[in-house]
């Protein structure tokens, strides 16, 4: 019998894959200036340091580092991650930390633990499309909540909670993907109080927070969590290496942590021990904070080169003014269509991601996401000029 595609599950039938990752595949051309990715700069990735740490931990642990490990993760990494998170006001122990395959797996395990098909998840509009895809696979009802330049509008969140009775609110509070916007400091405690009041899980996805180039840091929403409703998701992908696939969830409620651990047992048994040990050693030796300071200096120059480059864009273009992260968000004058313009931009050797994909309800065709971490300031200026000319043509 010929293989019959009607065999696919209902959850997977409508899912066609991440547009971003498909755009990535077009970027083999070395002449392309890519504003499409979300990668750290190659200059921020220390393969020599990782090689040394790999040798050291394999010598230190021996064959036990190649054995099966606990699904809950290696305690040294859980503890060093808890210590690292003190800088954003989170007070937790290693026992509340679940190491994961990047924060991607953390959000997957959290959804798996709580969301039934049809359950509502509130999201910022726009939001990270990778998370939208995970929510769609679990057949969640995704409801966008309006944002302004200070992130989620609290009155709108409360209205949506009362109307939709969501199980979860998904927020990227710092240098958001895709907009670069940061949730205002004075909205954070009220948001923690609101989810505690109504009994909604708040997934605080915060992988960019340490990439701050301007302004003052503010505490995580999780810093104001009282009853375990806030689950904090962090990642070493943007700080040490995305290819190593090490992130973590902070889950203060033991029953929820247990459900996520059980979900992870069946997903991949555990995060590779070598990768956990390398990241732990990186933290333990105090390499992370100096590294962050170094890469932030470079990223700051790149971000400002991009912000300056908007002078080449058509009059009427509006863009965000991030203080960190990897992304700037722009809205072209109404009537322009960033998806339709993309092939022309690619022909002119510049790539970006059309903004419509980041809206759960689509639309917003005039928007686009621009990443500045993969090119030097001079190339960013050239790319922004070429983009501006493409859009004006």
Taking CB under 8 A as the criterion, which residues in 256-285 touch a second copy?
Answer: 256, 258-259, 261-263, 265-275
The distance of closest approach from Cβ of residue 62 to a second copy in the complex, given in angstroms and rounded to an integer, is 5
**Nearest CA among 348, 325, 309, 129 for reference residue 214:** 325
Q: Is 211 in the site for a second copy (CB under 8 A)?
A: no
The CA distance from 323 to 216, in Å, is 9
Helices marked H in the chain = 19-25, 47-61, 75-85, 102-114, 129-137, 154-164, 185-198, 254-268, 273-284, 288-309, 338-347, 377-392
Q: Residue from 73, 102, 309, 325 that binds a second copy (CB under 8 A)?
A: 102
Neighbours of 294 (CB within 10 A): 13
The distance of closest approach from Cβ of residue 214 to a second copy in the complex, given in angstroms and rounded to an integer, is 26
The CA distance from 143 to 336, in Å, is 26
The distance of closest approach from Cβ of residue 4 to a second copy in the complex, given in angstroms and rounded to an integer, is 6
| Residues 304-333 within binding reach of a second copy (CB under 8 A) | none
Q: Is 69 in the site for a second copy (CB under 8 A)?
A: yes
Q: Is 221 in the site for a second copy (CB under 8 A)?
A: no
The distance of closest approach from Cβ of residue 92 to a second copy in the complex, given in angstroms and rounded to an integer, is 15
How many residues bind a second copy (CB under 8 A)? The answer is 94
- What SS3 class is residue 249? strand
Q: Is 105 in the site for a second copy (CB under 8 A)?
A: yes
Q: Residue from 26, 29, 70, 189 that binds a second copy (CB under 8 A)?
A: 70
| Residues 116-155 within binding reach of a second copy (CB under 8 A) | 116, 119, 130, 133-134, 137
The distance of closest approach from Cβ of residue 18 to a second copy in the complex, given in angstroms and rounded to an integer, is 6
| Residues 169-188 within binding reach of a second copy (CB under 8 A) | none
Q: Is 59 in the site for a second copy (CB under 8 A)?
A: yes
Q: What tokens appear for 25 in the block? A: 């595949």
Neighbours of 293 (CB within 10 A): 10
Query: C-alpha 170: how far from its chain's center?
Result: 11
The distance of closest approach from Cβ of residue 315 to a second copy in the complex, given in angstroms and rounded to an integer, is 36
- Candidates 27-35, 56-64, 178-186, 305-313: pick the segment binding a second copy (CB under 8 A): 56-64
Partners of residue 234 on adjacent β-strands: 248
Beta 247-250 vs 97-100: how paired, if at all?
A: antiparallel
The distance of closest approach from Cβ of residue 316 to a second copy in the complex, given in angstroms and rounded to an integer, is 34
| Residues 333-362 within binding reach of a second copy (CB under 8 A) | none
The CA distance from 163 to 193, in Å, is 18
Query: C-alpha 149: how far from its chain's center?
Result: 19
The distance of closest approach from Cβ of residue 208 to a second copy in the complex, given in angstroms and rounded to an integer, is 15
203 burial (CB, 10 Å; 0-12 / 13-18 / 19+) is buried
Interface mask (CB under 8 A) for a second copy, residues 152-171, using x and -?
---------------x----
Q: Is 25 in the site for a second copy (CB under 8 A)?
A: yes
């Amino acid at each position: 019998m010929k293989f019959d595609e009607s065999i696919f599950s209902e959850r997977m039938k409508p899912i066609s894959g991440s547009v971003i990752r498909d755009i990535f595949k077009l970027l083999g051309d070395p002449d392309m200036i890519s504003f499409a990715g979300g990668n750290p700069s190659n200059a921020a990735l220390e393969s020599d340091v990782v090689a040394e740490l790999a040798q050291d931990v394999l010598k230190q642990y021996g064959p036990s580092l190649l054995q099966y490990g606990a699904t809950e993760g290696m305690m040294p990494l859980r503890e060093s991650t808890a210590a690292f998170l003190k800088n954003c006001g989170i007070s937790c122990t290693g026992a509340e930390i679940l190491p994961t395959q990047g924060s991607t797996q953390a959000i997957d395990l959290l959804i798996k633990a709580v969301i039934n098909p049809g359950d509502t998840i509130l999201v910022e509009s726009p939001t990270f499309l990778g998370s939208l895809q995970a929510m769609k696979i679990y057949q969640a009802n995704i409801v966008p909540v309006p944002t302004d330049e200070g992130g989620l509008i609290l009155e709108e969140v409360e209205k949506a909670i009362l109307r939709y009775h969501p199980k979860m609110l998904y927020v990227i509070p710092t240098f958001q993907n895709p907009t670069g916007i940061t949730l205002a400091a004075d909205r954070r405690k009220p948001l923690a109080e609101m989810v505690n009041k109504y009994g909604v899980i708040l997934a605080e996805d915060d992988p960019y927070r340490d990439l701050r180039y301007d302004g003052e840091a503010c505490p995580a929403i999780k810093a104001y969590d009282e009853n375990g409703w806030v689950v904090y998701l962090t990642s070493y992908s943007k700080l040490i290496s995305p290819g190593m696939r090490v992130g973590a969830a902070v889950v203060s409620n033991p029953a929820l942590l247990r459900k996520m651990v059980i979900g992870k047992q069946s997903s991949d048994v555990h995060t590779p021990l070598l990768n956990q040990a390398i990241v732990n050693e990186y933290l333990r030796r105090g390499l992370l904070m100096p590294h962050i300071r170094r890469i932030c200096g470079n990223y700051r120059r790149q971000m400002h080169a991009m912000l300056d480059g908007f002078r080449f864009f058509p009059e009427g273009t509006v863009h965000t003014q991030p203080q960190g992260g990897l992304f700037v968000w722009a809205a072209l004058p109404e009537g322009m269509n960033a998806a339709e313009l993309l092939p022309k931009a690619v022909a002119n050797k510049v790539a970006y991601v059309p903004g419509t994909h980041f809206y759960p309800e689509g639309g917003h065709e005039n928007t686009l996401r621009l990443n500045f971490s993969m090119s030097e300031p001079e190339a960013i200026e050239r790319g922004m000029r070429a983009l501006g000319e493409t859009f004006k043509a």
